[in-house]
Amino acid sequence: MCADRNVDVSGGAVAGWPDVPGDTALTIKVPPADPLVRADFPAHVTVLYPFLHESRIDAATDREIAGLFAGHAAFTLTFDTFGRFPGVLCLAPTPHTPVTAPTQHLTAHWPETVPYRGIFGASPAPHLTIANDEGPATQDTVYRTLEAGLAPRLPLSCRVEAVHLITWDGQRWQDRTAYPLAAGTCGVDASQRSE
């Protein structure tokens, strides 16, 4: 999906990785980060891309997905550290586990769903892409400048109460379904409870 599809670990274009109509992804929306994103998509953290082709998500599968996410508690992500992949400037969310645990459950249930088609290894680190259009010759200078300009806006936090299924229609990603997470302890993360 999306954020990193045009870059491989050596910095070159990824051949054969175009989004095709009916592709789906499971994402976490991060609206507080939208003003920071310089790419042509809203701020998000990918839980799993690609997921099942849209044609495979019938009512029974939809219930399975909903049940899987209902087994995970709502949480808060904090973004305070920049990271980089070749050609990509991103923010690293903390904690990672609330993002990676559902990914592991999904890929165990549907083993044919391999994160980023395996291009970045079995379990790439969760991230929120800020910019992804610089090449090797310009990325260090441009992204260093961008980091300096955005750093005063950090940290930022986002409460995550749902994971969104989005579908590629051939021209853009469209929202299809939001899967609520469990409310947790009275709807508050343990990290937010006062002693």
Question: What is residue 118's predicted lDDT score, i.e. its pLDDT?
Answer: 86
pTM for this entry: 0.85
Question: What is residue 120's predicted lDDT score, i.e. its pLDDT?
Answer: 79
Residue closest to 41 by CA, chosen among 180, 147, 155, 174: 174
Residue closest to 181 by CA, chosen among 44, 67, 47, 31: 67
Question: What is residue 100's predicted lDDT score, i.e. its pLDDT?
Answer: 96
More confident residue, 186 or 112: 112
* 50-109 per-position pLDDT tens digit: 999 999 999 999 999 999 999 999 999 999 999 998 889 999 999 999 999 999 999 999
Contact 147, 89 (CB under 8 A): yes
CA–CA gap between residue 74 and residue 71 (Å, rounded): 10
- What mean pLDDT do residues 129-144 have? 92
For residue 7, pLDDT over 90 is answered with: no
